[in-house]
Each structure stands twice: as C-alpha cells, then as structure tokens.
Copies of this chain bind each other. A is one copy, B any other.
Amino acid sequence: MSQDNRRFLLAERPTGPVDENTYDLVREPVPGIDEGEALVKVKSISIDPTNRTWIGEEPTYLPPVAIGEVMRGLGLGEVIESNNANYPVGALVNGLTGWQDYVVTSDQMPLMVVPEGVQASPAQLLGTLGMTGCTAYFGMLEIGEPKEGDTVVVSAAAGAVGSVAGQLAKMKGARVVGIAGGPEKCSFLTDTLGFDAAVDYKADDWRAQLKAATPDGIDVNFENVGGEIMEAVIGRLNVGSRMVLCGLISGYNDTEPPPGPRTFGNLLIKRVKLQGFIILDYYPRFGEAIRELSGWVADGSLRSEQTVVEGFEELPNALNMLFAGQNTGKLVVHISD
C-alpha cells in the first residue's frame, strides 16, 4: 500500500478521448485532518460517462473541473482516521472522492456512509447499490413508468445503468428491448438478463433489427446514448410514450455539439413526454432506492454485473474503455483492498 497520496490532476482539456496529456499523475503526502474531519482511504473508483462531461470547457450541471484540480469522480473508501462521530473508523463511505488514494471528508464535504451490515462488494456499492442503481431506479420507475405490455427500449443496455433499468422494466411486466454493441453483449441481454430482444448497433442491419424488435412501436425509451440510434428510436415512439433522457454518451467526446435528431417532430406528433434527468436531483431519496434494490439483488430478482479494472494508474484508460463500450455492467477501477 502506498504511503503517498497519488492523485490525477487535470492538466489540459481533451478535444476528444482523454490521452496521456490530459492528466498529471502526482504523489503528495497523505493529508492530515483537523477537527470535524475524517481521513478516507479510497478503495475503488467508479467510471461514468459524466466524468468526461466534467472536463469540457462548458459548465454542465456542475462546473467544469479546473486545470490543476484533482479529477472529479465517484468512489468508495474506508474511514481510517477520524475526528467526526458521523464517520467512525472502519466505516465505508461512498461519494465524490475524486481520483486519488486519500480524501478528507467532513460535514461540509459529505460522503454517504454505507449502512452497517450491507453485504456487497465495492463494485456493487458503486454500481447497482450506488448512484448507478439509483439512476436506473428513478429514471425508469418514476419517469419511464413502464406498464404491463409496454415496449421499452434501453440504449447502452449492457452498461451499468442500462442493465439495471431494463431489468426493472421487466419486473413491471414490460417487453424489454436492449441496444448494445456486438453479439456477446446482445446474448448477455437476452440469455443472462432475460430481455425479450436485443439490437446490435454494430451490425449493418441495426435499423432492421430495431424495427423487427419493436413491431408495435415504442412506449418507453430509456436513453443513454444519443446520435443516430436515438434518432431512429424517437421515430418509432408511440402516442403518449415517455422518453427518459438520461445520457447522450455518443456525443461526449465530440468537440462540436452533435446534430439533433431529425425525427424531433415525432415528439410533437406522438405527444411524447420527454424528461431530462440528472440523478443528483434525487439525492435525498437514495436511501429508499438502495433499500429496495438491495432486496432485489438479495432475492436474485435483479442481477448486478461488474467489470473491474486493476490499478490506480489505469483510471484514464478505463474512461476510454467506457466510451469504447469495453465493459459489461458497472465499470470500476480497484485501487486498494
């Protein structure tokens, strides 16, 4: 275990994928703590599409990470030293740790304490039982509102959020179609997760596949990707359908905003309700979601899938893996036990 605090600081804003010039990897002394503070040793870091949006020029729902600042990221750690009764030594904590080995927390910079007795791996706590699971939970159940017999289409369906969102729609009795890249991920969706159909967006005939998989149109779109696949999905939305706009990952590495969907008019014709959605708005209700999700994971009705990359130094590469779709389920980087 390193006695230094390794940190990835933002060195320059990438114009496409992150590369070797994007970050400086520095070693600093482990920080000391003042009154009211606690020291957290980070164990695993979550890799999310939003990491890339935080290092662009433009503010999104949070201000951009400044040049020279530690890279913003979600992580899971353990309290190893404490002057704060809310953070007892040994507690697991979850939240914006940043890409570093150690972080200081306090009541002003809170991390969420994982309730004692929760039996889950760090990857699960960052995934299905963390922000990722909450995103699928509130997005699908409160905005998408799938009903018995609805056709639900989830993009990036083999990814962290999509794989949970699709399973939740299945639990509500919907017919679920997942869009994913490559035959392996597609079989994972239908054979392992029990989706009704899968569309391989890397296949030449993806449009025909989408049409065949949604013969009665689409009642709910849980959108994670954007681009021309979303355009085709919007074109097949039914009257009164719902569109959960959760992510537009296909454009996050672009330097110019991508073109909007040419099927935009169908949102009018079909009286679609589209709701843009950022999970942080639901923060006060995470507890209720995680309780319910834990129950489903425990009784086997919800499968939690992870891809774990080994080693702190791999953080930037892991972010590119995410954009290349090289993960199945939640992608995390394991940095210490």
The answer, yes or no, to whether A283 is at the interface (CB within 8 Å) is: no
Question: In the complex, which of the residues B248, B256, B263, B275 contacts A260, with contact meaning CB atoms closer than 8 Å?
Answer: B263
A231→B248 CA distance, assembly (Å): 17
Interface hit among A95-103, A117-125, A265-273, A305-313: A265-273
CB-CB contacts below 8 Å: A219-241 with B = 226, 231, 239
Residues on B with C-beta less than 8 A from A276 are: 267-273
Count of identical protomers in the assembly = 2
Query: Hey, which chain B residues are within 8 Å of A256, CB to CB?
Result: 262
Number of interface residues of A (CB under 8 A): 33
- In chain A between 236 and 283, which residues have their CB closer than 8 angstroms to a CB of chain B? 239, 245-248, 251, 256-265, 267-278, 281
**Roughly how many angstroms separate A264 CA and B278 CA in the complex, as a whole number?**
15
**Is B277 touching A275 in the complex (CB atoms < 8 A)?**
no
Question: A257 contacts which of B248, B263, B274 (Cβ < 8 Å)?
Answer: B263
* A60 interfacial contact with B, CB 8 Å: yes
Is the Cβ of B281 less than 8 Å from the Cβ of A268?
no
Given known A251-B265, A265-B248, contact A271–B281 (CB-CB < 8 A): yes
> What residues of chain B lie closer than 8 Å to A263, measured between beta carbons?
257, 260
Measured between beta carbons, the chain B residues less than 8 angstroms from A274 are 267, 272-275
Residue A259 contacts which of B245, B247, B262, B273 (CB distance < 8 angstroms)?
Answer: B262
Closest to A230 in B: B264
The residues of B that contact A231 with a CB separation of less than 8 Å are 260
Q: Pick the most buried of A245, A259, A270, A277: most chain B CB atoms within 10 A of its CB.
A: A245
15 more A-B residue pairs beyond the given contacts A260-B260, A271-B278, with a C-beta to C-beta distance below 8 A = A61-B269, A226-B264, A246-B268, A248-B265, A251-B265, A258-B262, A260-B263, A260-B264, A261-B264, A264-B264, A268-B277, A268-B278, A269-B278, A273-B275, A273-B276
